[in-house]
Amino acid sequence: MKKAQLIVNRNFTGGEIDKRIYSSFVEHMGRVIYSGIYEPTHPTADEDGFRYDVLEKVKEMGVTGIRYPGGNFVSCYDWRDGVGPRHLRPRKLELAWRSIETNEFGTNEFMRWAGKAGIEPIFAVNLGTKGIENAVSLVEYCNIPGGTKYSDLRREHGIEQPYNIKTWCLGNEMDGDWQIGHKTAEEYGRLAQETAKAIKQVDSSIKVVSCGSSKSDMVTYPDWEAISLNYTYDYVDYIALHQYYGGQEKGTEFFLAQSLDMENYIRTVIGTCDFVKAKKRSRKDLYISFDEWGVWSMPDTEVAAQVDETPWQVAPHLSEQIYSMEDTLLFSSMLMNFLKFSDRVKIACQSLLTNISAAIMTEKNGEVWVQPIYYPFAYTSKYGRGTVLQEVFKCPVYACERFEEVPYIDSVTVHNDETKELVYFQVNRTGEFLNIFAENQEFQVETVIEHICLSSEDIKATNLHNHGLIKPDFPEDVTLKGNSFEYIIKPYSWNMIRLKLV
């Protein structure tokens, strides 16, 4: 049996984990909102039409923030269409997903839902078909107490107190030629610069997110960051990255190795940000908001076909991906990357919350169930809090297309001084059992609290037909040896081990 050895030391730390890395994303796309989080005719719907069964799952999942309202949707959206009396709101062609948007759900409905879900809102403004005025008026509507046109309009709509939304995204994926209002890096940089300046005039307390690259294989990456940040660096607080991975057809070894591409993506953008910082002689560090991420198991051509075959529907079934155990392992490694880079990644939004590339699935007028990706997210959100420790990790590696050295085990360790715990998150990327020995230097370990393992003999298995097929196990197989521990990690598994410290 192959062996892996891990060493962590209390005195060698990485970044402090920001709870906002456990955020998600809600867009007016398919059934994310309509029959996802909002379905007035559902048996569990509350007085606002929100599905209580979904709200409970969101809370159990540990979601801390939500980015809204898009996504590609935001680039053709006028926020004014989604406020005020519902019977006066227009039905409009939604161009991004070629559907009908009823505007039954808008800013105020989202904020009521956010309050019930206990999440922090992260708003995006339209820099595709709109611009500075539209963004300024929305910030005024949401954040000014009263006495102005749009703050008084909010009060007329029954919302006396301002929302004080603190984080604002300047458009969505503006580097992508699929985006309505797509711009060059120079065009976007100038518009984003002026929009950031203007909305911070409205509310100087807000934080602003500039668009970075939509994925690591964009032909404009990383020039997009270098060029656009020349304009925006002094006026924004974060740069947004997006990334989805498919490629299951290339085999498990390649598929699971792609989290290494994501690590390099983050390192490169950090380097680009720091280059612009040095160029500008700035003293400010720019942070990363990884505000769309996930596993994408459907070809873009299939998604396009769904949109084109039957356009102009209300909340169509679109891209409702079903995740396997294999998908869950890559998803888990992607999530672990935010812990590894917690010194610079401060926001991350899993995409999407319900029904589309989602952890939570719903049936119209029916039940709610969770995909396997739900469990690593929920447990990491609950226990992945505190300080990341630097690891010295020796384990076998394999080689595959594009990746010369892929560690069998992906690992990150967290020290929570408040709860006096060490928490280990580990993914076995291979079909082999491995013996893992972990040495905890400068810690006094009292006991093993628990080992939670998610695995399946069939890595292509899903929870589609048997909603409880893939769920966590709680093996008692971790052996404590002084301040160290040892266990046998199962093939193709996600693991969390919690140790209680003295």
Token pair for residue 352? 């999407």
Residue 256 is inside which H or E element, if any?
helix 252-279
What angle is formed at CA 172 by the lines to CA 171 and CA 176, rounded to 5 degrees?
125
Secondary structure (3-state) at 71: coil
pLDDT at 301: 64
Q: How many residues does the chain have?
A: 502
Q: How many Å apart are CA 115 and CA 133, to the nearest integer?
A: 27
- Looking at the structure, tell me whether residues 402 and 366 fall in a common domain: no
Domain count, the chain: 2
Q: Known catalytic residues?
A: 173, 292
pLDDT at 117: 98
pLDDT at 309: 81
pLDDT at 297: 73
pLDDT at 468: 96
The domain that contains 308 carries what CATH number? Answer: 3.20.20.80
pLDDT at 298: 66
Of 323, 425, 418, nearest to 371 by C-alpha is 323
Neighbours of 207 (CB within 10 A): 16
pLDDT at 302: 65
- Looking at the structure, tell me whether residues 356 and 460 fall in a common domain: no
User: Which conformational region is residue 171 in: left (phi greater than 0), alpha (psi within -120 to 50 degrees), or beta?
Assistant: left
Which regions of 33-174 does DSSP assign to beta strands (E)?
65-68, 92-94, 99-101, 120-125, 167-170
- Looking at the structure, tell me whether residues 43 and 63 fall in a common domain: yes
Token pair for residue 305? 């076909």
Q: What are phi and psi of 94, to 5 degrees?
A: -100, 110
Per the CB < 8 A criterion, the answer to whether 352 and 382 are in contact is no
- Looking at the structure, tell me whether residues 239 and 275 fall in a common domain: yes
Which regions of 351-433 does DSSP assign to beta strands (E)?
360-362, 368-370, 387-394, 397-400, 403-407, 409-416, 421-428
Instruction: Examine the fold and report which residue of 320, 353, 383 is the final residue of a domain before the chain moves on.
Output: 383
- Looking at the structure, tell me whether residues 46 and 179 fall in a common domain: yes
User: Which conformational region is residue 468 in: left (phi greater than 0), alpha (psi within -120 to 50 degrees), or beta?
Assistant: alpha
pLDDT at 396: 98
**Structural domain range at position 405:** 2-11+387-501
- Looking at the structure, tell me whether residues 357 and 477 fall in a common domain: no
- Looking at the structure, tell me whether residues 398 and 340 fall in a common domain: no
- Looking at the structure, tell me whether residues 347 and 424 fall in a common domain: no
- Looking at the structure, tell me whether residues 403 and 318 fall in a common domain: no
Instruction: Examine the fold and report which residue of 383, 405, 427 is the final residue of a domain before the chain moves on.
Output: 383
pLDDT at 376: 98
Per the CB < 8 A criterion, the answer to whether 312 and 474 are in contact is no
Task: Tell me how far the alpha carbon of residue 49 is from its chain's centroid.
Answer: 25
- Looking at the structure, tell me whether residues 374 and 488 fall in a common domain: no
Whether the ω angle into residue 222 lies within 30 degrees of 0, i.e. cis, is: yes
Burial class (CB in 10 A: 0-12, 13-18, 19+), 320: middle
Task: Tell me how far the alpha carbon of residue 14 is from its chain's centroid.
Answer: 21
The domain that contains 425 carries what CATH number? Answer: 2.60.40.1180
| pLDDT tens-place values along the chain, 502 residues long | 999 999 999 999 999 999 999 999 999 999 999 999 999 999 999 999 999 999 999 999 999 999 999 999 999 999 999 999 999 999 999 999 999 999 999 999 999 999 999 999 999 999 999 999 999 999 999 999 999 999 999 999 999 999 999 999 999 999 999 999 999 999 999 999 999 999 999 999 999 999 999 999 999 999 999 999 999 999 999 999 999 999 999 999 999 999 999 999 999 999 999 999 999 999 999 999 999 999 997 666 666 667 778 899 999 998 899 999 999 999 999 999 999 999 999 999 999 999 999 999 999 999 999 999 999 999 999 999 999 999 999 999 999 999 999 999 999 999 999 999 999 999 999 999 999 999 999 999 999 999 999 999 999 999 999 999 999 999 999 999 999 999 999 999 999 999 999 9
- Looking at the structure, tell me whether residues 374 and 473 fall in a common domain: no
Q: What are phi and psi of 264, to 5 degrees?
A: -65, -35
Instruction: Examine the fold and report which residue of 344, 367, 383 is the final residue of a domain before the chain moves on.
Output: 383
User: Which conformational region is residue 73 in: left (phi greater than 0), alpha (psi within -120 to 50 degrees), or beta?
Assistant: alpha
- Looking at the structure, tell me whether residues 106 and 246 fall in a common domain: yes
Q: How many Å apart are CA 76 and CA 242, to the nearest integer?
A: 19
Residue 392's alpha-carbon distances to 8, 10, 371, 440, in angstroms, are 7, 13, 33, 11
